[in-house]
Chain A
Amino acid sequence: MTRLAWRLARPNILSSVLLLAAVAVFAVLTRQAMTAFMHDSGLDACLAGNGDCGNLMQAFDMRFDTVTTVVKLLNVVPMLIGVFWGGPLIARELEQGTHRLVWTQSHGRGRWLAARLGVHLAGAAAVAAVFTQLMAWWFAPIERIQVEGTVLYGRLDPNVFDFRGIVPVAYAVFAFAVGAAAGALLRRTVPAMAVTLVLYLVTTVLVRVWREHFMAPLRSTYAFGVTDPRAGKGDWVLSHDTVDPTGALTTLAEVPAACRAQADHTATDACLGGLGYQWADTYQPIERFWTFQLIETGIFAGLAATALGFAAWWVVRKLA
């Protein structure tokens, strides 16, 4: 049964390998360009010397703008696995009637389902893991980019978190499980794929909104004109507020006109700092990266297990 499942998964595996190969080519080429630029522009040396590399980094960010835009597309990989692996898995068998062929061989439908789900799950997890590793390697140069003490692509940043660590594997497994369950329930490939797409997007968006509440955020206050004590760490900053000397929230538009009239913003900051104005940041510290990864992996693994359990129950007990 497992061998049949492997044989039937062959087109999926082949297309995934091709896709991964294409991504690898892209990653190798762009990473070479990025490291070369860092070296040639002196950014490397600057970062090593702890100097002010703001301008060089901004230049880098602009030069590789299109490359870093790709980052936002990486999140679709688990979704594609769910839509193109999970959706058709059971639905296509039901559509083409081949379930009547396999269920009437010497092993029943339970064995069939276990084999098909198992092989595809292993494949989905493997593809997601390889892809994540590849992207982590590719992303290493970009991760060092900071503008004025702000890490642009910190690991906890919502745009980056999703394809780092172990959550992509959980996303892929979840997307696949939803696809399989939808296929079993709807018995039609295309509707199952559409439902998978919608459910996956809705779930990931909800969890993404919820993510900053996984743990209570920390708060850090520091005077105007003083360097942020956590600059360059790559924290996930949730809010960045101005606090007046009494400790109440305010905005830069409401600070005393005398300070606003200063020659440059360094002088403005020094003026406000002297009056007792402070920055108040709420943030999730970068040290929580793995805790957050584990929490989110747990959420998606739980949802995936529920969907798979439903699919198994439905196929074994309910399908005629």
Chain B
Amino acid sequence: MRVLGRAPSGAVADVGFVAQDKPLYRNLTVGETVRMGAWLNPGWDRQAVVDRIERIGITPEQKVGGLSGGQRSQVALAVALGKRPRLLLLDEPVADLDPIARRDFLRTLMAEVAESGVTVVLSSHLLADVEKTCEFLVLLTTPVRRGAEDRRAPGADVHSHVQLADHTETLLAQHRLVTGPRAAAPALTAAHSVVQADYTDRQASLVLRARGPIDERVWTVRPISLEALALAYMSAPEQQETAA
């Protein structure tokens, strides 16, 4: 594996990382945490970090342990960005945040991306946020039943495989949510790839990866949200066969 064209161990200084639980030393103050970043990183951008902290609305004298979850996430992000990484890895960055903190976090992140051009790779289950922030989607699935997955020890070998990997714009352009008469479904599913299909007695609603134009006189064709798209792929790990 190569990271930024180098062996991973050689790229550490250029890669920022925020773990899911946003670890920071709880008994340090915010100011000390910023100084810590300077101690640990030769290319530390002190002013940028101080500015970011100021924008969060906290003072350097506050103890990290006393911050709210959202503030702590913001500080962790500021520290990760302080080393001026070319690649930023975020593991479930907003999973444990309330909606406002989540919005603020992602806003900071997007501003940073626009400003410095840092590449961000983030993992998330929150598809709405992914839709708002991500340009490229990699969908990983594990071919294990959900119950079994929960019981697995953390750190156990997980054989996830990539189910989908493409630019979000491409994905949204290719996929359609299609509803129409069930009787017409076989012809449609033969012409396009079916991601997910639901049938009632008379009605078919399908998520399709369109290979060409869809007859809109027969079918109601709507664009699909990234969330619905990802859900369709995740709930149907195997490509659906044609109508039953």
Q: Tell me which of A1, A3, A100, A106 contacts B23 (CB under 8 A).
A: A100
The answer to whether A3 and B17 have CB atoms under 8 Å apart is no
Cβ of A216 within 8 Å of any chain B Cβ, yes or no, is: no
Which residues of chain B are near A97, meaning CB under 8 Å? 19, 21, 23
In angstroms, Cα B23 to Cα A81, docked, is 26
A160-178 vs B, Cβ < 8 Å mask (1 yes, 0 no): 0000000000000000000
Cβ of B155 within 8 Å of any chain A Cβ, yes or no, is: yes
Cβ of B9 within 8 Å of any chain A Cβ, yes or no, is: yes
Report if A101-B23 is in contact (Cβ < 8 Å); known contacts: A4-B36, A106-B12, A106-B40.
Answer: yes
A185 to chain B, nearest CB (A): 16
In angstroms, Cα B22 to Cα A96, docked, is 10
In angstroms, Cα B9 to Cα A11, docked, is 33
In angstroms, Cα B83 to Cα A3, docked, is 17
What size tier do the contact residues of chain A reach?
10 to 19
Which residues of chain B are near A320, meaning CB under 8 Å? 155
The answer to whether B9 and A108 have CB atoms under 8 Å apart is yes
Q: Tell me which of B9, B13, B27 contacts A106 (CB under 8 A).
A: B13
Cβ of A105 within 8 Å of any chain B Cβ, yes or no, is: yes
A96 to chain B, nearest CB (A): 6
In angstroms, Cα B28 to Cα A102, docked, is 14
Cβ of A66 within 8 Å of any chain B Cβ, yes or no, is: no
Report if A4-B39 is in contact (Cβ < 8 Å); known contacts: A98-B24, A101-B24, A104-B12.
Answer: yes
For A104, the closest partner residue in chain B by CB is B17
A12 to chain B, nearest CB (A): 12
Which residues of chain B are near A100, meaning CB under 8 Å? 17, 19, 23
Cβ of A7 within 8 Å of any chain B Cβ, yes or no, is: yes
Q: Tell me which of A98, A102, A106 contacts B83 (CB under 8 A).
A: A106
Cβ of B26 within 8 Å of any chain A Cβ, yes or no, is: yes
In angstroms, Cα B32 to Cα A22, docked, is 30
The answer to whether B28 and A105 have CB atoms under 8 Å apart is no
Cβ of A8 within 8 Å of any chain B Cβ, yes or no, is: yes
A37 to chain B, nearest CB (A): 46
The answer to whether A105 and B27 have CB atoms under 8 Å apart is no
B53-89 vs A, Cβ < 8 Å mask (1 yes, 0 no): 0000000000000000000000010011001000000
In angstroms, Cα B12 to Cα A104, docked, is 7
Cβ of B93 within 8 Å of any chain A Cβ, yes or no, is: no
The answer to whether B26 and A104 have CB atoms under 8 Å apart is no
Which residues of chain A are near B12, meaning CB under 8 Å? 104-108
In angstroms, Cα B9 to Cα A102, docked, is 15
Q: Which residues of B in the span 1-46 have a Cβ within 8 Å of any Cβ on A?
A: 9, 12-13, 15-17, 19, 21, 23-28, 32, 35-37, 39-43
For B25, the closest partner residue in chain A by CB is A98
In angstroms, Cα B13 to Cα A104, docked, is 8
In angstroms, Cα B12 to Cα A100, docked, is 12
The answer to whether B21 and A104 have CB atoms under 8 Å apart is no
In angstroms, Cα B19 to Cα A99, docked, is 10
Report if A101-B32 is in contact (Cβ < 8 Å); known contacts: A1-B40, A106-B83, A108-B12.
Answer: no
The answer to whether B23 and A7 have CB atoms under 8 Å apart is no
Taking A106-B12, A106-B41, A108-B12 as known contacts, 11 extra A-B pairs with beta carbons closer than 8 A to each other, sorted by chain A number, are: A1-B40, A3-B35, A3-B39, A4-B36, A8-B25, A98-B24, A101-B23, A101-B25, A101-B79, A104-B16, A105-B41
5 nearest A-B pairs in the assembled complex, by CB-CB distance = A97-B23, A105-B40, A104-B17, A106-B13, A100-B19
Q: Could you list some 10 contacts between A and B, CB below 8 A?
A: A97-B19, A97-B23, A98-B23, A98-B24, A98-B25, A101-B76, A104-B16, A104-B17, A106-B12, A107-B40
Residues of A bordering B, CB below 8 Å:
1, 3-4, 7-8, 11, 96-102, 104-108, 320
